Structures are given as structure tokens and as C-alpha cells.
Structure 1
Amino acid sequence: MRKLLILLMCSSIAFTSCVSKKKYAELEAQQRNTQDLLNTCTVKLNDCLTEKTAASVRAKQLEERLADLRKTNEDLIQSSKDLTMLTSKGATNLEKSLESLKEKDLKISRLQDALNKKDSVTLALVSSLKREVGINDPDIEVNVEKGVVYISLSDKVLFKTGSYQISSRANEILGKVAKVIQGKPDFEAMVEGHTDNVPYKSGGVLLDNWDLSVKRATAIVRALQDLGISPNRLVAAGRGEYDPLVPNTTAENRAKNRRTRILVLPKIDQFYDMIEKEMKNLEAKG
């Protein structure tokens, strides 16, 4: 009996030991599966955390980009408003510029009309002088220089060498010149005396060629006054040897340089009156 009990106990122990090892193996396998699952979940969790961080960065970038776009949009709206304002101001300024151009065109037109009128008067004056004085005499020249009509008379027509006494032929020519000037009350006559560069040596009251040129101009002015020209329309000027037509290198050239010019030109005071009137008109319009 005792042997039987011992045998039963041994069998029971052996059976119990066998079941525990199997269970252990199962638990061990389950534990490995659980560990693998935990490892997999840990990897996925780390991936999710990484993606979350990247998504947060992208979200922040998108917010900054959105803020920039909003700022750009606001700037564009303001620029549009500014452009509208500038366009309005530009239109106003353009209108003012056009008005100014119209005024300038009108002034230019008036000046052009005045120049045309002046040119017509100048042409008529030249024609009158050439008709009265004569154009076939080589010692008498009627021409226009820089808009001014002038009569150039050679020295031998008016004076003797070194003298400022007017010849009889000069009186005849000056009488014709005076007739033309008398018909132009808005014009003045300026007489210029010119000499060559040969030093003046006759002595007397004259010091040099400059004195001689002035004295000759004065003699012509007085002759024109005696012929009826008002003295306030006459000007005497001496240029001496300092405005030659040609170099004083030959006797022929020196003869050309010895001359008297009578310039017929609009009155200077009337010219300034015209400028002053135009300036007052500009100030009134401005």
C-alpha cells in the first residue's frame, strides 16, 4: 500500500512538473509576443512624435506665410489707394501742364507775330533805304545784321583823310537817309565811326583814332539833326580801329575799315516797355 502511495505521489509530481513546463513555455512565448508588440508600438509612437513635430513646424511656417500674404495684401490695397491718389494728382498736374503749354504757345505765337511784323518792317525799311540812297554805289552798302538795318558809308564818301568835316556829297546822302528815318518815328539812328590802325598824327584836339571815330560820328549825328531828326532819336558812337572788317594788312583793306555805319533800330525804351508789359501779364496770370 505504501509503495502504491509513493508511486502515485511520484506520478502526480511528475505530471505536475510536466504541466508547469508547458505552461511556462506558453507564457514565455506570450511574453515575447507582448514584447514584440510593445517594441512595434514604441517605434510607431516615435514615428508619430516625429511627424507631429514636423507638422508643428509646417503649421508655424504656414502661419508665417499667411501673415506675410495678409501684409502683402494690405500693402497692395494701400498701394492701389496711393496710385489712385497719384493718378488723380497726375491728371490735375497734367491739366495744369497743358494749360501752361497753351499759355506758352500763345506767347510764342505772339512773339512770332511780333518777329514777323518786325521782319516786315525791316524789309520795308531796307527797301526804302536802297531806293532813296541807291544800291549801285560801291561805297554805300545797305544791309541787315542780326535783325538791325544799317547803312555803311566808306570814308571817302563822307570825309577827307584825317578829317571830321563832312563833304558836300555826304550831305546829299545823309539827306536821303534822314528822309527814311523821318518816316519811321518808332526807330532810332545810331552812328558808328570806324578807322584803320594807322596812328593819327595830325595833332590838334584829337588824340588818336578813337577820338577821330567819335568826332566823325558826332558830325554825322549833328548833320542828321540839322536835317530834321529829333536829337533824342540819335546816338553817336566811336569804335576806332577796334572793330575792323578785314585785317589792316593792305591799303585796300585799310580803306574798307575806314567807314561810318548808321544803324536804324527800334527804340530801346519801347523794347523794354514791351518786356515789362509782358512780365506784368505773366504775373497777373500766375
Structure 2
Amino acid sequence: MKKLMLLSAFSLMFLASCVSKKEHVALQEKYQESQDLLNTATVKLNSCLSDAAAANARVETMKDQLSDLRKANQDLIDTKGNLTTLTQKGAENLERSLESLKERDLKITRLQDALTKKDSVTLAIVTSLKKAVGINDPDIEINVEKGVVFISIADKLLFQSGSYNVTNEAKNVLAKVAKVVNSKPDFEAMVESHTDNVPYNKPPLIDNWDLSAKRATSVVRVLEDLDVNPKQLIAAARSYYVPLVDNDTASNRAKNRRTRIVVMPKIDQFYQMVEEEMKNLAEGN
């Protein structure tokens, strides 16, 4: 991996000397995008390897228990020749234990497949968003936390000061977000609005709760106008109670005034998929 990264860096340096500044910047952006994808994929791979190791350890433990049962059963056969009926029941128990092991292993495998599928879709969403929105805009941040995609948009890009009307510039950004959300009908988009702690009271709104709620619904309406299915949309107001930093300076208050669009799988559908797999397994399909 280190050799690959060194080779990539050397290649970029070599290309930088042979191409124009514009091409050099494009190559650097392409390299950064590839690096982000590589880091995300590495985290997912490590998580899958850890889960697989834990599952294999449980299977090995159960195999050891099965081996002990077989040995105990064989001892009974050798020393209690007259206990034919008991031996037969023991053999049946062993077979049931073996089938149980196979069933548990299959359940673990299917659950891991479901999780892997969800993580793959999440990674694809991040890639699509970064290509559509751009990764070099300081007012837009895209990242993944615990399998959920977060798009954080600075307040100054979305609204004028003290306003809840979405700017034309922001509508262009939201149009790109809407395109990605529309491509994932099994995901939901929660618009989460945050303010700073400066008291707000401009009728008809009476406080920061009102302002954050109005801003969240304003963004939701823009996404709906961009043909996002309303069933996928959630409007959430957080007021000033979840700040990123202390509201002690103008710069910090600007950081806290933000809107997050949280793109996440529909949890009920995810668990329904797992339950259906388990039902099929129980029915022998």
C-alpha cells in the first residue's frame, strides 16, 4: 500500500512537470477523490474482516463443543453396549447440533451480506454526491458516520441573514443533491436545521426553534419542487442546542448556523430484508 501511494505521488509530481496548471489541478483533485474512496473502502474492509473473524471464532467454538459431544457419545457406545436406544438418541442429537451450526453460520452470512450491501450503497452515494456537488467547496461538507451520509451546508450559502428563504445559489446545489437522492428511492433525506444562540424574534416567528423549523421546511419544499418523493423527506429543527463549537465569537456562531441533509437507509426496510432472509431460511428455501 505504501509503495502504491509513493508511486501515485511520484506520478503526480512527474505529470505536474509536463502538463498545464489547469491539468495539474485536475489531476490533484482526481488523486484526492481516489484517496477519499480508498480510505472509506479500507474502513469498510477492516470492519467486515473484524465481523468475519468474530463469526469464525464463534463457529470454531461450537465445532469444539460438537467434537466433545461426539467423543462423549463414542465413549458411551464403547462402554455401554446395551444402551442402544440411548446411543441412537445421542446420534440424533449430534445431527441436530450439526444442522444448528450450519443454520447459525448461514444466518451470520446473510446478515453480513445485508450489511455489506447497505455499506456499498452508502459508499456509492458519497461518491455520487462528491462528483455532483464538488469536494473543494469550503461551505459544503460531505462525510459518512456509522453508515449514514451527512451533507453539511453553511448557513450563508442557503439563506440571507435572518431569512428562511432559500437563495438561488443554494437551489443550484440542492438540485445536485436531489438528483442523487432521487436515484436512491429506498433511502430517506432528513433536513436538519441549526441556528446559533443569538435570540431570534421577528414575527410571525418568535424564537430560534421557529427559525430552524422554517428553514428546514423551506429546504424540504425546494427538494420537493425538484421532484424528490415527499415520502423520502424529513424536516427537523434543532434550534441552537447542538452546536459544533462554543457560540463565543462571530466566527464560531457562523459555523453553528448550518443545515445538514442526512441521507440514510430506511431502517424498517433494512430490518424487513433481514427478517425475510431469516423466514426463508426457516422454511428451507
Does residue 264 in structure 1 map to residue 242 in structure 2? no
Give the whole-Å Cα distance in 2 for the aligned partners of 1:175 and 1:155. Answer: 17
Aligned position for 2:231: 232
Matched position secondary structure for 2:142 = strand
Aligned position for 2:187: 187
Note the residue ranges of structure 2 that are not aligned, 5 or more in a row.
Answer: 1-78
Does the Cα contact within 8 Å between 2:111 and 2:274 map onto a contact in 1?
Answer: no
Aligned position for 2:272: 273
Does the Cα contact within 8 Å between 2:130 and 2:142 map onto a contact in 1?
Answer: yes
Alignment of 1:165-204 (within 5 A): 165-200=165-200, 202-204=201-203
Name the aligned partner's letter for residue 185 of structure 1: P
Name the aligned partner's letter for residue 128 of structure 2: S
Shift of 1:89: 5.1
Give the whole-Å Cα distance in 1 for the aligned partners of 2:94 and 2:240. Answer: 57
Does residue 115 in structure 1 map to residue 115 in structure 2? yes
- With normalisation by structure 2, the TM-score equals 0.65
Give the whole-Å Cα distance in 2 for the aligned partners of 1:87 and 1:198. Answer: 79
Shift of 1:151: 0.6
> Can you list the C-alpha shifts for 1:230-256, whole angstroms capped at 9, x where unaligned?
111111111111222223233222222
Give the whole-Å Cα distance in 2 for the aligned partners of 1:229 and 1:192. Answer: 17
Aligned position for 1:213: 212
Name the aligned partner's letter for residue 244 of structure 2: L
Shift of 1:278: 4.2
Kindly tell me the number of residue pairs found equivalent between the two proteins: 206
Alignment of 1:33-182 (within 5 A): 91-182=91-182
Name the aligned partner's letter for residue 101 of structure 2: L
Give the whole-Å Cα distance in 1 for the aligned partners of 2:161 and 2:172. Answer: 19
Name the aligned partner's letter for residue 254 of structure 1: R
Matched position secondary structure for 1:198 = coil
> Can you list the C-alpha shifts for 1:61-94, whole angstroms capped at 9, x where unaligned?
xxxxxxxxxxxxxxxxxx9689987776555444
- With normalisation by structure 1, the TM-score equals 0.65
Name the aligned partner's letter for residue 206 of structure 2: L
Matched position secondary structure for 1:95 = helix
Residues 249 and 95 of structure 1: CA distance in aligned 2, closer, same or farther (over 3 Å):
farther
Give the whole-Å Cα distance in 2 for the aligned partners of 1:89 and 1:147. Answer: 47
Identity of aligned residues (%): 68
Residues 171 and 87 of structure 1: CA distance in aligned 2, closer, same or farther (over 3 Å):
same
Asked which structure has the greater CA Rg, the reply is 1
Instruction: Judge which range, 158-167 or 214-223, deviates more.
Output: 158-167
Name the aligned partner's letter for residue 150 of structure 1: F
Residues 214 and 81 of structure 1: CA distance in aligned 2, closer, same or farther (over 3 Å):
farther
The root-mean-square deviation of aligned C-alpha atoms, in Å, is: 2.4
Aligned position for 1:253: 252
Give the whole-Å Cα distance in 1 for the aligned partners of 2:174 and 2:183. Answer: 14
